[in-house]
Amino acid sequence: MCIILIINDIDSDTSGRGHTKMSPGTRSRSRSPLKMESKKESEDSKKKDSRRERSRSKERNSNKTKSRHRSKSRERKRSRSKERKRNRSTSKERERSKRKRSRSPKLKDGKKDPAEEAEEFNKDKRTEKKVPLSLEELLTKKKAEEAALSKPKFLTKEERIAEALRKRQEAADEARRKMEEERNKQLEFLKTAKEFSDDRDRGERDMYRERERRDRQMRREKEREDVPGEDKSKVKEVKEKDKDKESEAIRERYLGIIKKRKRIRRLNDRKFVFDWDAGDDTSNDYNQLYKEKHQVQFFGRGNIAGIDIKAQKKDQSKFYGDLMEKRRTEAEKDQEKKRLKGVASREAKQRWDDRHWSEKPLEDMVERDWRIFKEDFNISCKGGRIPNPIRFWKEADLPKELLDIIDEIGYKEPTPIQRQAIPIGLQNRDIIGVAETGSGKTAAFLIPLLKWIMGLPKIERMEDADQGPYAIILAPTRELAQQIEEESIKFGKNLGIRTVSIIGGISREEQGFKLRQGCEIVIATPGRLIDVLENRYLVLNQCTYVVMDEADRMIDMGFEPEVRKILEYLPVTNEKPDTEEAEDDAFTLKNFNTKKKYRQTVMFTATMPPTIERLARTFLRRPTVVYIGNIGKPVDRVEQIVYMVSENEKRKKLLDVLNKGIDPPIIIFVNQKKGADVLAKSLEKMGHNACTLHGGKGQEQREFALASLKGGSKEILVATDVAGRGIDIKDVSMVINYDMARNIEDYTHRIGRTGRAGKAGVAITFITKDDSATFYDLKQVLLQSSASSCPPELANHPEAQHKPGTVVQKKRKDEKVYIN
């Protein structure tokens, strides 16, 4: 083997030498004489020598590196040759061993000899020994690994899922580990704390028990000492008696001293006898433990079943009170008395502050009280700084003469609209009052007007009589104008304030004569007032107070152009500015007690249609809107009854209602003048006292009809919508709509003739198929009223299911499909 290695080395050496170039030294020696001979010119010899030196140094460096590579390659070849020889030797040995195995005999059971197995294992181990990698291979392997790591590796979906699961598992393991650590720490801490507290609590419990035992012993001794001598002897006697009785009862029960004869029931005796023997009473127990039972006391909300809970609570509170009384010191008792006294004073103060507004004086009223006051009377307002309402007439800022007249007329308490509208009117503010019919709107605008006129000097009033009235009040109908005139005369007669009404049906010259005599208030219908103004019977040079009563009715009757024309006759110099100053009471009251005060416009209505809002925006300056109750809805005091009948059945149904018994006066409304006369005549024939009121009647006939109904000579008034607005007839018990009104607003005003001034009333309405346009609105009014019920005929009628004019989408089940 040594010989082969040497030969290989020699071969490799020789092969390497054969392939390598000659060294620079030998090359230079062989070439330099030839060059010297070929080149005779020696001028550039020095330069060439220097160049040669440089090239030689380069060649030396390159030869060094080459020689290193050669030595490495030789070593590799030598190592490879050694490995080959080893492999050959191992292969030969394996062949030899195989031959030996084939020659050696086998064991009987087919197993190999253990020595041979060990030898084979050692040989395999030797052969399996790996050859270490060379330095270059290690470097190249490391570079390849770094390159592979530097390149981005794109993972598949499965690999990404696996990586995410692995990270999640690692995070869960980490969190679990931290929780375990925290739990172990807590357990260890609790263990040490428990050990410490157990040692301390044991000592404290022992001390507490010892103290309790001593206290009980001292208490018993004190109780024994407190009992006087006679009482002690009595207690001792009672105990001895109880003991004797107990022993006697035991002897009787167990020794059989008293033998009771068994009673034999006779044939006629009762089978069951429940008579009580006094000797069988076991309720009294002589044992002290059972005689003086300890009362069970539950902590918290526990109670014993079968016993009155209130009695248990009473006993429990008594028990705890006695217990606390015994335990407390004198200082603690004093402190508890002070605390209870403070609680009682606070509760008393709270009760004092929470008094009802009617029990408080005016100066003690707070914002909360005023809010409750408005809720009680269903008052709501909007628009600027609104003054507080009037609680009682005596608290109103009114002259004594006016208060005396109010008391004389019989106004005990102001109505809701009067409570809020009068203070606003006294501030010279414009008002829109929306209130139910019969709510006292007339006095609400008359009282502020009368107070202002009373504040003017009387001499000026006489001198300026030809300049016209101070105020005009517009009403839609003659009857309403006359009713307002009556109320105004009641108030103004004793105050020297004159009132003139200008209405149709009366001579214009007669009215002109009254106007020339002078007046402070003019009450008029729009048409006749325009006529008087155009004919110069009246001028409005000093008019600063304008009232439009039942303004919605005036607009519905087509008086809007006339109203606008009348307002144009008023002077423009006293109009309020349409700014925030119109809401400031200091600004509006600046010249209130003079004739040149700012104009005040007041509008009262039962409903609030868009036309009224448009008119208010034109002529009112920053008005305060006062709502009383529900806008445009009848009062809940009126019971509404609706009958669905045909046109021919109306007369019969009306007679049935009248024959049941009526409490006069009653009003029957129809839609046509002729129908009113025909119905009144037929009622007269049937024995009912009836009169008529409609636009075709003269003024004298109208006044006579109203006077006869108010006086009681007539029981029934058959009228058109002329009597539907503002007419105040006292104690109207029933209103019958013989013909249904054309719209729901007129219906509201019609039934508003009953149930006035806080009284109850009944409204009966006959409807036919021709009135289907009002079915929906009528149904809604009935459903919203608490005192009324909607009949099923109206509730289930198709026209009452949706508002007129709306397009209703039919349901699929209601559609009809025609198939050819």
Give the DSSP H/E element, type plus range, for residue 672. none
Q: What are phi and psi of 650, to 5 degrees?
A: -60, -50
Per-residue pLDDT tens digits for 672-681: 888 888 888 8
pLDDT at 29 over 50: no
Give the DSSP H/E element, type plus range, for residue 660. none
Pairing of strands 624-628, 379-382: antiparallel
Map tokens 């289930």 to a residue. Answer: 796
Task: List strands edge to edge, sheet with 761-767.
Answer: 638-644, 761-767, 734-737, 666-669, 716-719, 690-693
**How many Cβ atoms from other residues are within 10 Å of residue 706's Cβ?**
21
Residue 163: alpha-carbon gap to chain centroid:
51
Per-residue pLDDT tens digits for 700-731: 888 888 888 888 888 888 988 877 665 667 77
pLDDT at 15: 39
Q: Residue 565 burial (CB < 10 Å; 0-12/13-18/19+)?
A: middle
pLDDT at 20: 36
Per-residue pLDDT tens digits for 350-370: 888 778 888 888 888 888 888
pLDDT at 522: 92
Angle subtended by helix axes 24-38 and 45-103, to nearest 10? 140
In angstroms, the Cα distances linking 399 to 117, 393, 396, 494, 623 are 139, 11, 9, 13, 26
CA 310-314-316 angle, 5° bins:
115
Q: Are 436 and 753 in contact (CB under 8 A)?
A: no
Grade residue 30 by pLDDT with cuts at 50, 70 and 90. Answer: very low
Grade residue 171 by pLDDT with cuts at 50, 70 and 90. Answer: very high
**How many Cβ atoms from other residues are within 10 Å of residue 797's Cβ?**
17
**Which has more pLDDT, 593 or 387?**
387
Per-residue pLDDT tens digits for 37-88: 444 455 566 666 767 777 676 677 666 666 666 676 777 777 777 777 777 7
Spatial distance between the Cα atoms of 743 and 771, rounded to a whole number of angstroms: 10
Spatial distance between the Cα atoms of 576 and 599, rounded to a whole number of angstroms: 7
The full 3-state SS of 541-576, as one line of letters, equals CCCCEEEEECHHHHHHCCCHHHHHHHHHCCCCCCCC
Sign of the C-alpha dihedral computed for residues 211, 217, 219 and 225 taken in this order: negative
Angle subtended by helix axes 416-426 and 441-455, to nearest 10? 30
Which of 667, 617, 661 lies closest to 638, judged by CA? Answer: 667
Cβ contacts of residue 496 below 8 Å, gap of 6+? 458
Spatial distance between the Cα atoms of 131 and 410, rounded to a whole number of angstroms: 132
Grade residue 3 by pLDDT with cuts at 50, 70 and 90. Answer: very low
pLDDT at 375: 83
Spatial distance between the Cα atoms of 3 and 554, rounded to a whole number of angstroms: 145
Q: Are 504 and 528 in contact (CB under 8 A)?
A: yes
Which of 489, 498, 553, 538 lies closest to 521, judged by CA? Answer: 498
Per-residue pLDDT tens digits for 80-125: 777 777 777 776 677 776 665 554 444 444 445 556 666 666 655 5
Spatial distance between the Cα atoms of 553 and 71, rounded to a whole number of angstroms: 129
Averaged pLDDT for residues 220-226: 67
> Could you tell me the two tokens for 458?
């009387």
pLDDT at 170: 93
Grade residue 36 by pLDDT with cuts at 50, 70 and 90. Answer: very low
Tell me which of 19-23, 249-253, 632-636 is least confident. 19-23
Angle subtended by helix axes 478-492 and 400-409, to nearest 10? 120
> Could you tell me the two tokens for 622?
């920053």
Spatial distance between the Cα atoms of 175 and 179, rounded to a whole number of angstroms: 6
pLDDT at 65: 65
Give the DSSP H/E element, type plus range, for residue 667. strand 666-669
Cβ contacts of residue 107 below 8 Å, gap of 6+? 113
> pLDDT exceeding 70 applies to what percent of the chain?
75
Per-residue pLDDT tens digits for 764-803: 999 888 888 888 888 888 888 877 888 888 888 888 888 7
Pairing of strands 716-719, 600-605: unpaired
Averaged pLDDT for residues 652-666: 85
In angstroms, the Cα distances linking 34 to 28, 30, 554, 735 are 10, 8, 146, 156
pLDDT at 165: 92
Give the DSSP H/E element, type plus range, for residue 649. none
> Could you tell me the two tokens for 21?
């170039």
Per-residue pLDDT tens digits for 435-471: 876 678 888 889 999 888 888 876 566 666 678 888 9
pLDDT at 726: 57
Tell me which of 84-88, 550-554, 640-644 is least confident. 84-88
Give the DSSP H/E element, type plus range, for residue 431. strand 431-434
pLDDT at 174: 93
If DSSP codes are grouped into helix, strand and coil, which group holds residue 603? strand
Buried b (16+ CB within 10 A) or exposed e, 367-386: eebeeebbeeeebebebbeb
pLDDT at 308: 84
pLDDT at 252: 73
pLDDT at 17 over 60: no
DSSP letters spanning 697-745 = S-HHHHHHHHHHHHHTS-SEEEE-GGGGSS---TT--EEEESS--SSHH
pLDDT at 172: 93
**How many Cβ atoms from other residues are within 10 Å of residue 418's Cβ?**
29
Grade residue 169 by pLDDT with cuts at 50, 70 and 90. Answer: very high
Buried b (16+ CB within 10 A) or exposed e, 734-761: bbbbbbbbeebbbbbbbbbbbbbeeeeb
For the chain, the average pLDDT equals 77
Q: Are 786 and 771 in contact (CB under 8 A)?
A: no
